[in-house]
Structure 1
Amino acid sequence: MLSRRSMLGVTALGVAGTGVSVIGGLAGGVQSSSGTAMANNTPHEPATIPSNSESVIQNLKEQEKLPPIQRFGRMMHNYIDGQIREKMQERQSKLSQINTREAALSYIQDVSQKIRTAFGSFPERTPLNARITGTLNRDTYRVDKLLYESQPGFFVTANLYVPTATKGPFPAVVGECGHAVNGKAYPSYQSFAQGLARQGYIVLIFDPVSQGERIQYPADDAAKSRIGIGVLEHLHEGNQQFLINEFLGTTRAWDAIRALDYLQSREDVIPHQIGITGSSGGGTLTMWLCGLDSRWGMAAPSCAVTSFYRNFQNELPTDTEQCPPEALQFGLDHADFVAVMAPKPVVILAQEEDFFDVRGTIQAYEELRKIWRLLGHEDNLKLSIAPGGHDYSRVSREAMYAHFHQATGQSKASTEPQILLEKDADLFVTTQGQVAELKGATVFSMTAQKARLIAQARPRKVGEDWKKHLRACLQLPEKFSVPDYRILRSVSGRKYPRPGVTHYALQTEPGIETIVYRLAQQRLESRPPVLKEGCSLYVSDLSTDSELREEAWLRRRIESNPDQPFFACDLRGVGDSRPDTCGGTQTYLQPYGNDYFYAIHSLMLGRSIPCQRVFDLLSTIAWLKSLGHSSIELVALDRGTIPALLAACLSAEIASVQFVGLPDSYLAMANTEDYQWPLSSMIPDVLSKFDLPDAVEQIKSRGIRWMDVS
């Protein structure tokens, strides 16, 4: 089974790189057909094939290559840590005031409403078109191979374990799988499904999207993914969904809710005795589902319940579907999802050596026990901490059996019956083991279709209405104060285009600093002079320090006008403040790396990274204006282009722009299956509000000059 920790070693899907797209025409650019930046981090120069002697010289140059300056690697972590801690303290204050049954019920109602807001609306209930494609007959049960459509053409592959030694109706359980490549066939998941069936339960266990038989991005060999089974596909499809205001956790929860619908339609199922259980990622979905559907009769989340803050403190990345948008902004925590089940039977299952911190599990249990006690059913809530690491262990499974037996009266067994594991292929629902053969819908196809519809329906705004609208979308104030700043000590030997470089750290908001480089003929050790003239401001892609040396087009630009004041900046989480958390700076560009880590937590806090970076840039422009630079040439590369474009729409000081690697549009991102842009460049629900071409049109209408790279 793939752990989240192991994903830190996976190479990047690819984020911003050498794609070149300059409004006004850029010669020599490299660009994908979709207009998105291609994955590479090399300078923007045509490749050449050196001779043998040139190759030797090139190798020597590579050995002399300077590592980028990264002095503030924990800035992003400390900033977001403070925000989450504040939200959790507010939550604890609310919990401390729950001392009556009425207060407990009011709290449950409040968190239930917030959960539904975070998850958004569910799809329309459409016909399941459920059918059995085959059956395995065993000694005391059978396994029906079930195929159903949770959304039109969106196929779910499931195994339905049905007791045959006794007559029904039976209690039932929906089984949620964790991040196993083989989904429902993983040994621990087969074991709990078969164990329950042997004890008189009907069990419907299904493959999560992007696992088992439901690979969404099949390679030439349909059993393999060109993105990566499980975590990597979840990140790829889930990040893209944010552009249309959808959440992969909602998509996955809907698969389970439709499984519940199916079970309630069967005559051999006791409709009010349907439970849910799962481990790891399946434990997380079990937890979410406790708060999303009131029909569950019992629940047993395994290896999941802890706290958002513990996961963050421990620098533990989690998939897109495990990070509900705005959940932290609403003050929600793991325990709140389980609380909605109160006072029904719930057993929280944990493993002592799990990377999901058991200290958070114990805290969640204590918070929940108070609610169950006030509602008069404290015995319905249990906690089991089994020895060992991350898995749905036999000890945990037996704790689940016992709690479900207590809830249903179905059995008095205290140990797991003998389990005989099936081969993966014997459990296949589809002929060849992949839903791709059915030519149905995928997460991407549904995202792309909805993106086009949203874009077509979006109202267009112009002029001051556009600026007001954009400011509201980006959660920006109307005016920016001049930020305070520190004068940093110089770093020598960096081989910049000009000999005199001074570094300033602008405090754009408490805990956040934008690092600004001032390039001149002489270095300063003091505040910058006030000059009543224009200047250039460069917004970096990955590192101002590196790009000032390595981007030849940028060096030429600086050297061609030696007397013009030139500034360059690293916005938050970039370059000098590139995080060194989650395994180190080398994880930054990886799908599960620290850039993603802070981007997803920012969405949970209700303020996306692009919104934050536009704030930083507009604050920097206010600082430059205070120095007499009221006419600014704005230059940006790749990941710096989106905040630069949006800031240019809102700043009266921008006289010209030069963008290298600007994506064509957010619509193109949503319609490109193998898109390359990271979550830190995406704005939730952006397509219903504006798109990048709208910003381009607005800037052009103001007469701002567009400059080519020469």
Structure 2
Amino acid sequence: MLYGNAVQNYYVDEVRKVCAERKARLAKIKTKKDAEAYVKDVRAKILRAFDLPKEKCPLDPVITGERKLPGMTLRNVVYYSRPEYPVTAMLFIPDKAKNATGVLFLCGHSEIGKADSVYQTCAINLAKQGFVVLSIDPVNQGERHQFSAALTKKYNLHCCNAHNMQGKQLHLCGEYFGAWRAWDAIRGIDYLQTLPEVDPNRIGVTGNSGGGTMTTFVNALDDRLIMAAPSCYITTWQHEVENELPADIEQMPPDMLRYGLDMADFVIARAPRPTLIMGQKNDFFDPRGTVEAYEDAKAIYSLLGAEDNVKVFVGPDSHGYKTANRLQMYSFFNLHGLGKKKSPKEDEKLKPLPEEETWAAPKGVVKNLKVNKPLFTYINELADALIAKRKKLSRKEMQKTLTEILQIGKIEVPYYRVLRLRYGEKRKYTATCRYALETEPGEVMSMLKLHCQDALFHIPAAEKAILYIPHLDAESEVEKVKTKADERLFSLDVRGVGELVPTGCDHWSRKFFQQYGYDYHYNSLGYMFHRPYLGGKVRDILCALELLKERGVKNITLLAEGQGTVPALLAAVLSDIPVAVKLQRGPESWESMLRKEVTLWPLSCMLPGILGVTDLPELRKMVKNLTFTVAAEPSEPENLFG
């Protein structure tokens, strides 16, 4: 596939530009005043991106169980981070604790959440050292699974896929799943501060992987912490993009690259707070970037007179909160949390509790609590509120609004390359003429094709033409497209489909609609740049229409299939070139994607907060000559024309 690296290379170039500009900015910071200004700036940008709730509801904590352990007491706790939205937790209180330092422990991606043996090991050993430790379940993990066993099995909704599923539904409502996760943790700090055994002014946070992510974020978002130790998350965005690393939707915070920030800035945002940055030698979160992030933070900390407050440790193991990293964290927290210069060892006799002893909810399921509002209910309430407030816009007003949301930039006739033809004797069309369109400056991001019987090395004029926007791949799908004798048939593989399908970024499978695959990954990057991936697809179509018009193609019918109907419809609304539009087997609406618990329509069909602006049925009404057929879910290629 000649252009299978196009999307990847585009984002590599873009992230390198951002990172180079940031490095140049850091190089100009020479004084304490400069450093303080930078800290203030990045903190404000992070807070703006997360847009946390302005008010806090009552925690309404409930102790549902209590048992004595050697040297401590374990309480099973439920508190409410939002009205009726429960967080399940374990609270470890050392014997004779008084004015103790609290630690919020944030779990990584374990299906059993806080019951995971490694996370129990961390929490119990910290309690043995004198810390009061609160370990909480992330949503869709531990006791907080949101999907039924049947749905989980049918759609493989383990914790990562479940995060991405509900994350994309929140996305339609203009909400960031990572902010919901961070808020659960921030309310955990609130709970620690209410405890008589805890000094409310002495609380730290640590976690690994997904918990390292949340530790990183909460560290930047909350001004009450005295220390932080994120493990196995912090690297650099450049390494993340270059290494083609998909991450959970909460791990890709919006607007970070738009604002010119890197992961190190989450540490810098609270400089000179004592922070230990940890990674692993054999981690997919590139440890080279872990060290680079530390160097960036150290430079700022040094100007603030606190060089020793930030440390880095790269363990000898693979991804995980392994022993070496835990020991480093214990020493760091003893120094900055207890004022003790010591290197505690772990209790080798310690045995993790059975999972059922970690439960705070009946049978370990929050759905069994008397007070429990599922995240799915919140998503629907958010959608209801947005739809109720939505204003009616004229087409001109809609064009202006969508242009801003999609960030498509100025549309011009694109430069194109004439590529080698493809022949197929057994095909309906003997020749496929191929024109690579540079729809980004100097970058081929879409492939225009002419399907005919002759070898043509130019784009011919035509009185009538179809421009086909595929579901997954134009060349295989056009065989079923019906044309009239006087119609030319063109097709367009927009970025991310057909000849522009990324050849890398493999994770668990090559299936397009896999919740954690390449399509999801590049859409997440667009989110971080504040340039939606969907906007790029719309740009590709608009540029192709301009090119066909310039080459003398008239009376164009824009024919789209499946997921291709979404960018095609948006292009039809935005374009001033009159086209007839035929949308086949597309989604009914954006609203329909969140009215049931599971949608297989990809994140790349969605826009942030779009339900507060418009929906697909309204947009279809704005196009005069349009027909539409609906599909409940996207089809795989073999079912496209069934």
Aligned partner (choices 12, 18, 25) of residue 94 of structure 1: 25
> How much does 1:275 deviate?
0.1
Match of 1:420 in 2: 351
SS at match of 2:221: coil
The secondary structure found in structure 2 opposite 1:352 is: strand
Shift in alpha-carbon separation, 1:577–1:217, aligned structure 2, 3 A: same
**1-side partners of 2:311 and 2:517: how far apart?**
35
Distance in 1 (alpha carbons) for counterparts of 2:394 and 2:337: 62
**Is it true that 1:206 corresponds to 2:206 in the alignment?**
no
Residues 401, 494 of structure 1: alpha-carbon distance in 2 compared, 3 angstrom cutoff: farther
**How does the TM-score come out when normalised to structure 1?**
0.85
Taking a change above 3 Å as real, the CA distance of residues 344 and 473 of structure 1, as seen in their structure-2 partners, is: closer
Supply the distance in 2 between the matched residues of 1:221 and 1:92 (Cα, whole angstroms).
46
Q: Which residue of 2 aligns with 1:547?
A: 477
The correspondence of residues 295-694 of structure 1 with structure 2, limited to 5 A, is 295-409=224-338, 411=340, 413-418=342-347, 419-438=350-369, 440-477=372-409, 480-493=411-424, 495-510=426-441, 511-524=443-456, 526-531=457-462, 533-549=463-479, 552=480, 554=481, 557-558=482-483, 561-583=484-506, 586-694=510-618
Counterpart CA distance in 2 for 1:571 and 1:705 is 21
Instruction: Output one character per residue of 1:265-321: Cα deviation in whole Å (capped at 9) or x when no partner.
Output: 222111121000000110011011111011111000011111111111111110000
Task: Please give the alpha-carbon distance, in whole angstroms, between the structure 2 residues aligned to 1:172 and 1:484.
Answer: 60
* Count of paired positions: 626
- Asked whether the equivalents of residues 287 and 338 of structure 1 are also in contact (C-alpha less than 8 Å), the reply is yes
AA partner of residue 662 (structure 1): G
In the alignment, the residues of structure 2 paired with residue 81 and residue 661 of structure 1 have an alpha-carbon distance, to the nearest angstrom, of 34
How many angstroms does 1:570 deviate by?
0.5
Query: In structure 1, how many angstroms separate the alpha carbons of the residues matched to 2:275 and 2:156?
Result: 36
**1-side partners of 2:388 and 2:156: how far apart?**
30
Which string of whole-angstrom CA distances, capped at 9 and with x for unpartnered residues, describes residues 242-268 of structure 1?
A: 111111110000001000011112221
1:639: how far off? 1.0
Q: Does 1:122 align with 2:53?
A: yes
- Relative contact order (alpha carbons < 8 A, sep ≥ 6): 1 or 2 greater? 1
| Correspondence list, 1:54-65, <5 A | none
Counterpart pick for 1:706 among 611, 623, 627: 627
Q: Matches of 1:467 and 1:304 in 2, distance apart?
A: 40
Pair 627,429 (structure 1): closer, same or farther in 2 beyond 3 Å: same
- 1:670 positional shift: 2.4
* TM-fit CA distance, 1:408: 2.8
The structure-2 alpha-carbon separation of the partners of 1:652 and 1:226, relative to structure 1 and needing over 3 Å to count, comes to closer
Q: Find the aligned partners of 1:134 and 1:126 in 2 and give their Cα distance.
A: 23
CA distance in 2, matches of 1:268, 1:343: 27
For 1:607-640, what per-residue CA distance to the aligned partner results, in whole angstroms no more than 9, with x for missing partners?
1111111111010000010121232111000111
CA offsets per residue over residues 300-357 of structure 1, 9 Å max, x none? 0011111111111111110000000111111111100011221121111222222211
Counterpart residue number, 1:695:
619
**Identical counterparts, % of pairs:** 37
CA deviation vs aligned residue, 1:103-147 (integer Å, no higher than 9, x gap): 111001110111012112326300111010001201200110010
Task: Tell me the residue number matched to 2:166.
Answer: 237
Q: Displacement of 1:475 after TM fit?
A: 2.4
Cα distance in 2, alignment partners of residues 404 and 444 from structure 1: 37
Q: Which moved more, 1:241-250 or 1:226-235?
A: 226-235
**Pick aligned residue for 2:214 from 269, 285, 292:** 285
CA distance, structure 2, for counterparts of residue 677 and residue 569 of structure 1: 20
* 2:565 counterpart SS class: helix
- Counterpart AA for 2:383: A
Aligned counterparts of 1:187 and 1:604: Cα–Cα separation in 2: 34
State the Cα distance separating 1:707 from its structure 2 match.
7.6
How far did residue 471 of structure 1 move?
Answer: 2.5
CA contact (8 A) 1:238 1:320 kept: yes
Give the conservation status (yes or no) of the 8 Å contact 2:94–2:132. Answer: yes
CA contact (8 A) 2:433 2:451 kept: yes
Distance 1:500 1:316, change over 3 A: closer
**In 2: Cα distance, 1:600 partner to 1:236 partner:** 13
RMSD: 1.9
Q: Distance in 1 between matches of 2:137 and 2:100?
A: 23
> Amino acid of the residue matched to residue 172 of structure 1?
G
In the TM superposition, residue 228 of structure 1 has moved relative to its aligned partner by: 2.0
- Give the deviation of 1:579 after TM superposition: 0.6
Residue-by-residue CA offset, 1:573-592 (whole Å, 9 max, x unaligned): 11011111112882533211
Q: Distance in 2 between matches of 1:295 and 1:407?
A: 14
Q: CA deviation at 1:453?
A: 1.1
Residues 440 and 167 of structure 1, relative CA distance in 2, 3 Å threshold: closer
Secondary structure at 1:515's aligned position in 2? strand
Relative distance call for 1:570 and 1:577 in structure 2 (3 A) is same
Opposite residue 141 of structure 1, the aligned amino acid is M
Residues of 2 paired with 1:219 and 1:676: CA distance?
18
Counterpart Cα distance in 1 of 2:181 and 2:460: 57
Report how far residue 227 of structure 1 moved: 4.3
Structure 2: unaligned runs, 5 residues or longer: 630-640
Q: 1:606 Cα deviation (Å)?
A: 0.8
The SS at the match of 2:485 is coil
C-alpha distance in 2 between matches for 1:411 and 1:163: 17
Asked if structure 2 preserves the Cα contact closer than 8 Å seen for 1:122 and 1:250, the reply is no
Q: Which amino acid aligns with 2:500?
A: S
> Aligned match of 2:202 in 273, 296, 313?
273
Distance 1:469 1:272 in 2: 46
8 Å CA contact retained: 1:634, 1:654? no
* Cα distance in structure 1, aligned partners of 2:550 and 2:568: 19
Query: What CA distance in whole angstroms lies between the structure 2 residues aligned with 1:463 and 1:330?
Result: 31
Q: 1:353 to 1:470 in 2, by over 3 A?
A: closer
**Cα 1:468/1:266, change in 2 over 3 Å:** same
Alignment of 1:141-220 (within 5 A): 141-164=72-95, 166-220=96-150
Question: Quick one: which amino acid aligns to residue 17 of structure 2?
Answer: E
Could you tell me how far 1:691 is from its partner in structure 2? Answer: 1.2
CA offset digits 1:191-214 (Å, max 9, x no partner): 110011001110000011111111
Contact 1:613 1:643 survives alignment (8 Å)? yes
**TM-score w.r.t. structure 2 length?**
0.94
Change (3 A) 1:239 1:564: same
Which portions of structure 1, spanning 4 or more consecutive aligned residues, are displaced by more than 6 angstroms? 707-710
Residue 455 of structure 1, CA deviation: 1.0
Q: 1:587 to 1:85 in 2, by over 3 A?
A: farther
Q: Deviations over 1:167-186 (max 9, x none)?
A: 41200100000001111111
